[in-house]
Structure 1
Amino acid sequence: MQRLRSKERRLTNMEGSSYNQQTVVTLIKGDHCMSARITLHTLQSAPEAARPFLENAQKNSGFIPNLLGVLANAPAALETYVTVSALNGKSELGLAEREVVQLIAATQHGCDFCVAGHTAVALNKAKLPQEVVDALRARGELPNARYETLAAFAREVIATRGNVSEATYQAFREAGFSEGNALEVILGVSLATLCNFANVFAQTPLNEELGKYRWQPSA
């Protein structure tokens, strides 16, 4: 039998002002939660093959991002995400550049969960300037020429499914990016597509730990 648990909390955005108070509803069934569409697994409820990945996330982050709880429904998908994330981390592109790609993809795909998660990484780990992150979240032009060239290339990769114009590619190369970097952008977009599409499909709820980075697409 399902229990309906409802609670209210005040969320704070990245500029420090408060969002309107809202009621967050979670369905609890047994020892796992239900997102709007799909089971949100915990360490206790996850398939055995998925549990090591959730345990590592808990150990490294102090909590299990709900994306992983969703992907745990298909352990192969969860393992793919973890494996490709690690490989993406070996790119010649730096962390800040990789986060530009992830935020471009997440905003283009309308994934509010991934925008929040990568905003946290961009600000706290990659140390991207606040104004750059704000522009990424607003889908605007970045106030940094190199990052904007990277962002423009990533946007066009997504919009054209890889059929990037010669002008955009040449601008990318002239900004100091290599042929390999172009493929690394595509790698990053591929990783983001798995996460973005899974979250949009599952309607993944945002973890409380990411609440202050909540994002809503502009009209």
Structure 2
Amino acid sequence: MSGLPLIQPENATGEAAALLEAAQHALGLTPNLAKAMAHSPAALRGFLDLRRALGTGTLPAAAQESIALLVAQENGCDYGLSWHTYTGTKVAGLSHHQAHRARRAKAQDPLTGAALLLTRALIRHRGTLSDTELAAARGSGLSGGQITEIVAHLALNTLTTYVGKTARVSVDWPLVRHDDTHP
């Protein structure tokens, strides 16, 4: 079954055109996901705004990309895995081994490891943490602000995963498959 057609920047009009240009400027290219999101300028604007806002947060880029990798893995999203393996290794400084481990909620860095364990618990319990899980997150050194940012990163990456899968967006990054078990 085909998904949503992609809105090409040269064919976009109005706010969609301006947002696709903003995506090009912010990301250095206009990914297929943004072209699919352009069906709803509100959704594309929300994605770009939340992405920009979280980029100014306290979580390091490597932790942000690790969260994105885990969310994509848990949701079986090859688009997200491909995008975030690329940006994680080319921009955020993750090795391919670290990117692969992040997909399994594992990290050598204690902050990233704690963020991944919290993210996995949030995904698997649909946002309802036990007192023990919340205490473990706090005990691992995550601040209230970082816990809140982790929830926001989970929401951002769930949005992109769901749009990508619903629209059946073709992968425009080097392909990484969710069922690939080798680093």
TM-score, structure 2 normalization: 0.89
> Number of aligned pairs?
181
Q: What is residue 217 of structure 1 aligned with on the other side? A: 179
1:146 Cα deviation from its structure 2 partner: 3.7
- Aligned partners of 2:17 and 2:96: how far apart in 1? 35
- Aligned partners of 1:61 and 1:186: how far apart in 2? 23
2:97 is equivalent to residue 135 of structure 1: no
Aligned pairs (5 A) from 1:122-201: 122-137=88-103, 139=104, 141-201=106-166
1:175 Cα deviation from its structure 2 partner: 2.2
Gapped runs of 5+ residues in structure 1?
Answer: 1-34
Aligned CA distance change for structure 1 residues 91 and 198 (closer, same or farther; 3 Å): same
Residue deviations 1:18-45, cap 9 Å, x none? xxxxxxxxxxxxxxxxx92111011122
**Contact (CA 8 Å) 1:149, 1:172: kept in 2 or not?**
yes
Aligned CA distance change for structure 1 residues 190 and 57 (closer, same or farther; 3 Å): same
1:188 Cα deviation from its structure 2 partner: 0.6
Aligned CA distance change for structure 1 residues 93 and 79 (closer, same or farther; 3 Å): same
**Contact (CA 8 Å) 1:132, 1:144: kept in 2 or not?**
no
Q: What is residue 73 of structure 1 aligned with on the other side? A: 39
**Contact (CA 8 Å) 1:111, 1:200: kept in 2 or not?**
yes
**Residue identity opposite 1:216 in structure 2:** H
- Aligned partners of 1:61 and 1:140: how far apart in 2? 26
Q: 1:99 aligns with which of 58, 65, 70?
A: 65
- Aligned partners of 2:96 and 2:179: how far apart in 1? 18
1:214 Cα deviation from its structure 2 partner: 2.5
SS for the counterpart of 2:118 is: helix
1:143 Cα deviation from its structure 2 partner: 4.3
Q: What is residue 9 of structure 2 aligned with on the other side? A: 43
Higher strand share: 1
**Contact (CA 8 Å) 1:47, 1:72: kept in 2 or not?**
no
Aligned CA distance change for structure 1 residues 91 and 59 (closer, same or farther; 3 Å): closer
**Contact (CA 8 Å) 1:142, 1:148: kept in 2 or not?**
yes
TM-score, structure 1 normalization: 0.75
SS for the counterpart of 1:44 is: helix
**Contact (CA 8 Å) 1:102, 1:188: kept in 2 or not?**
yes
Aligned CA distance change for structure 1 residues 89 and 131 (closer, same or farther; 3 Å): same
Instruction: State the percentage of identical aligned residues.
Output: 25
**Contact (CA 8 Å) 1:97, 1:147: kept in 2 or not?**
yes
Gapped runs of 5+ residues in structure 2?
Answer: none
**Contact (CA 8 Å) 2:67, 2:102: kept in 1 or not?**
no
The root-mean-square deviation of aligned C-alpha atoms, in Å, is 2.0
Max Rg structure:
1
**Residue identity opposite 2:93 in structure 1:** K
